[in-house]
Amino acid sequence: MAKAGHKSGGSGKKALKRKAATEEPQEAAVAEDGATESGVQPPKAAAFPPGFSISEIKNKQRRHLMFTRWKQQQRKVRGGGGSGRTHARFSFRAGVGGWWCCVVVLHMRGHPYLGSRAAVNNPEKLAAKKKLKKEREALGDKAPPKPVPKTIDNQRVYDETIVDPNDEEVAYDEATDEFASYFNRQTSPKILITTSDRPHGRTVRLCEQLSTVIPNSHVYYRRGLALKKIIPQCISRDFTDLIVINEDRKTPNGLILSHLPNGPTAHFKMSSVRLRKEIKRRGKDPTEHIPEIILNNFTTRLGHSIGRMFASLFPHNPQFIGRQVATFHNQRDYIFFRFHRYIFKSEKKVGIQELGPRFTLKLRSLQKGTFDSKYGEYEWVHKPREMDTSRRKFHL
């Protein structure tokens, strides 16, 4: 019975609404008749386009107001320097169609990005800079040298293993190590490039592009063979080096470089891989000329060994007519690989054009002999918790 009463009450409310809706147009018609009889014309309703909403205009006005305030804040920030902190104020306003509009107003005082602009707009700093410049010009050659800015690189922690090229011990090691036959020009490099099992297209394309960078290199598919079975076949076919590119989630993430027949073997982490099509303003495909090789900042004993491994991949006599150069640049234990071509714009101006590919390597381990994951003897293994105790300590 309670449910029935509830339904009847609901139907009664609906009936009242219907009655009110029918009475409204009747009252409006009666009002119009009375106005015409008295001789007064009724006011016409404003003609708005379909789908018009006053709230949209209000939202546009609010957004415009917030934008003008933000522009004023930006002008104040650009006009004045000074020290202080960076503050942010968030303002939310409802937008069209249920979307939310977020306006962020930043008060940047002494922000590092605006430091140079603030220094120029500061008259005191500008006057001091001009005064110092005049003093240096007056002193001429007797002027004191400009202070060198402090960086992590030039504040590097001293390492006892830094190589001195005039050291007799270093010269003896170079004459007796595994790369001595290459540097004595007794062997010429022959490289085998392969991948992990079932590689994807990106890894295969990287191998093919590496084969155009490194002369006398050959790409072979893995076909499920273990590296311990591949290495004896490489030695029997007179290959001097083996390069294996590993991948994870269809992306190259590792590189194994093994010098044959006696090692050593280096394992690198690979990142920031860019193929030729992904490089903007790249040059045409490289030619078959033997490129030059540049090795930068391999200063320690470990870095010296890694640099000699990279050097042994390329033949001794570069063909300068090809104007191609491969660079291995070590900075803070990250090895950046780039492949460029010289462009002679005039007799005095020379530019470079990147050909690709490019990637970054970080050494994980260096193993004596050829690849042996179980019983291999490691010369060096990267242990982050023990070795990365300071940002200014590097190993290469």
Residue-wise pLDDT tens digits, 242-299: 999 999 999 999 999 999 999 899 999 999 999 999 999 899 999 999 999 999 999 9
Residue matched to tokens 């104007």:
323
| Residue that wins the pLDDT comparison between 386 and 32 | 386
Confidence of residue 76 (pLDDT cuts 50, 70, 90): confident
Per-residue pLDDT, averaged over 85-114, amounts to 43
Tell me the range of 11-25, 57-71, 84-98, 199-213 where mean pLDDT is highest.
199-213
Whether the predicted pLDDT of 216 surpasses 60:
yes
* pLDDT above 70: residue 35: no
- Amino acid present at 102: C
Q: pLDDT for 11-20, tens place per residue? A: 555 555 565 5
Q: What is the pLDDT of residue 384?
A: 87
| Residue 183 CB neighbour total at 10 angstroms | 15
**List of residues 6+ apart from 8 with CB closer than 8 A:** none
Q: What amino acid occupies position 122?
A: N
∠ Cα 13 17 18 (to 5°)? 115
The sign of the dihedral angle between the CA atoms of 147, 152, 155, 159 is negative
269 vs 133, higher pLDDT: 269
Sequence ranges of the domains in the chain: 55-147, 168-387
- Smallest CA-to-CA distance from 235 within 187, 278, 276, 202 is with 187
Per-residue burial over 72-104, b if 16 or more Cβ lie within 10 Å, else e, is eeeeebeeebeeeeeeeeeeeeeeeeeeeeebe
168-387 sits in which CATH class? Answer: alpha beta
Question: What is the structure's pLDDT at 121?
Answer: 63
Residue 337 carries which side chain, given as an amino acid letter? F
* Residue range 149-175, pLDDT digits in tens: 888 888 888 888 888 878 888 888 888
For the chain, how many residues are written?
396
Between these two residues, 111 and 248, which has the higher pLDDT value?
Answer: 248
Q: Supply the pTM of this predicted model.
A: 0.66
The two structure tokens encoding residue 312:
């042994």
Average pLDDT, the chain: 81
Q: Judge contact between 165 and 296, C-beta under 8 A.
A: no
Predicted confidence at residue 60, as pLDDT, reads: 84
Residue 43 has pLDDT above 60, yes or no: no
Helices (H), the chain: 2-38, 54-79, 115-121, 123-139, 168-176, 180-183, 201-213, 227-236, 301-311, 384-387
